[in-house]
Amino acid sequence: MRHARVWWIPSVLLVCAVASPPAAALNEYGIEGMSVVSTAHSEVRASVSPDGRRIVWGSDRPGGAGGRDLWQATLVDGRWQNPEPLALNTAATDFDPHFSADGRWLLFFSDRPGGQGKDDLYRAEVRPAGSSGPADNLGPGVNTAGRESGPKLSRDGRHLLVASGGRGGAGGHGLWSGGAG
């Protein structure tokens, strides 16, 4: 009898794990689906729009303007569908997206020509239909001659958290926060 009880405990744990809220959330948004948000290529650093209707992520999948691009899918009937590269992508790296809390801006980093350094932070206006406006460099107040990445705006949009390799600190990339304008 003791052996039979040991057998069903792992089965119950497996059922609980599959039915847990995180697993259900992944199923609800269709993240588990192949060929949309998840492919055989690298799919990383996703950001879901505040209204929950769009997801933007970085990918090295073919079909974009460069080797690493920003892609977007829309939520249709509870599933992510219609993956497309963003029009703001360049032949350079465009990566690490973050939606502002109000959904008005998409922030990301790029090593496109014309920046302050190696990887700079940019923002693009998010238009009502989900397309994006042109990318604007956040300038020398945010970007350095080094590498900036990981932009995160506070919920009120007044503070920007960024990983920077060009501001000194303890070595490598450090986290920096400042007022956003």
Q: Which two tokens stand for residue 144?
A: 């350095």
Report d(CA 21, CA 36) in Å as an integer. Answer: 22
Query: Can you give the pTM of this predicted structure?
Result: 0.78
Convert the pLDDT of each residue in 116-134 to its tens digit. Answer: 989 999 999 999 888 999 9
Which three-class secondary structure state does DSSP give residue 100? coil
Kindly report each contact of residues 164-172 with a partner whose C-beta sits within 8 Å and lies 24 or more positions away, as own/partner: 166/117
Convert the pLDDT of each residue in 14-61 to its tens digit. Answer: 333 444 344 444 455 555 556 788 888 888 899 999 999 999 999 999
